[in-house]
């Protein structure tokens, strides 16, 4: 069986390849038993090996030779409160950060917003990185959703597994870019609550069953 830490490292490297991160900003985790594996703090993803990946327990303690990402708290809190979450990914991707600096929710300018579980992508209140206050704000913004923006900071997504988390992050960054571009030309026309409800219903029965 493949080592889940290797899949975690591959996903972390894919952030850079997909334009979601530069250098050591951002972090990725995957649920493992009673806890989760998470990328270590301050290490370039290119040089990571499986033994660099700490295993954290839900009480915030960790095992391994490296310290976990300083932003482990929102990972831990998502695993502790959302049993369906198998992977959490956080990035400082350029378009998501730009919109997060406006501290506004992304409205339903495109039907794919519904892919994240509602008719907006919420922007969590600002709190300093790595703090419990930031995690609390993030979880509130993620309520019933698979993504949020973090004010003046970046994006956060939660998926069933690493593959879904990465796909959601790529999609969210793309939506942020599209919204930004549309706003250059004028005020985007938003989908109505009824139109978004119909999209959510269609998504619920969509895909490979
Ligand atoms: Zn961050």
Q: What is the mean pLDDT of each run of 10 residues along the chain (209 residues)?
A: 91 92 87 97 92 96 95 98 98 96 97 95 97 98 97 98 97 97 97 95 74
Coil, helix or strand at residue 139: helix
H or E segment to which residue 148 belongs: strand 147-150
Which residues have a beta carbon within 5 Å of ligand 1, which is an ion?
154
| Gap from CA of 199 to ligand 1 centroid (Å) | 31
- 203 C-beta neighbours (distance < 10 Å), count: 14
Per-residue pLDDT at 205: 77
H or E segment to which residue 30 belongs: strand 27-32
| Gap from CA of 25 to ligand 1 centroid (Å) | 6
Catalytic residues: 71
Per-residue pLDDT at 1: 60
pTM, full prediction = 0.95
158, two tokens? 């939660």
Per-residue pLDDT at 207: 63
Per-residue pLDDT at 22: 77
Parallel/antiparallel/unpaired status of strands 147-150 and 27-32: unpaired
């Amino acid at each position: 069986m493949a080592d889940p830490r290797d899949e975690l490292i591959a996903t972390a490297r894919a952030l850079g390849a997909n334009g979601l991160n530069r250098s050591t900003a951002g972090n990725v985790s995957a649920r493992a038993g009673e806890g989760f594996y998470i990328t270590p703090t301050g290490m370039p993803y290119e040089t990571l090996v499986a033994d660099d990946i700490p295993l954290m327990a839900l009480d915030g303690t960790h095992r391994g030779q490296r310290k976990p990402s300083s932003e482990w708290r929102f990972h831990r809190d998502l695993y502790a409160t959302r049993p369906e979450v198998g992977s959490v990914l956080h990035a400082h991707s350029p378009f998501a950060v730009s919109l997060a600096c406006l501290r506004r929710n992304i409205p339903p300018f495109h039907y794919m917003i519904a892919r994240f579980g509602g008719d907006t992508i919420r922007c969590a209140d600002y709190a300093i990185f790595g703090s419990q206050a930031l995690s609390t704000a993030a979880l509130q913004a993620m309520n019933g959703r698979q993504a949020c923006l973090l004010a003046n900071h970046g994006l956060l997504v939660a998926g069933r597994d690493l593959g879904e988390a990465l796909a959601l992050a790529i999609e969210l960054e793309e939506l942020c870019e599209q919204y930004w571009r549309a706003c250059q030309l004028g005020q985007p026309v938003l989908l109505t609550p009824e139109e978004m409800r119909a999209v959510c219903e269609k998504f619920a029965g969509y895909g490979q069953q």
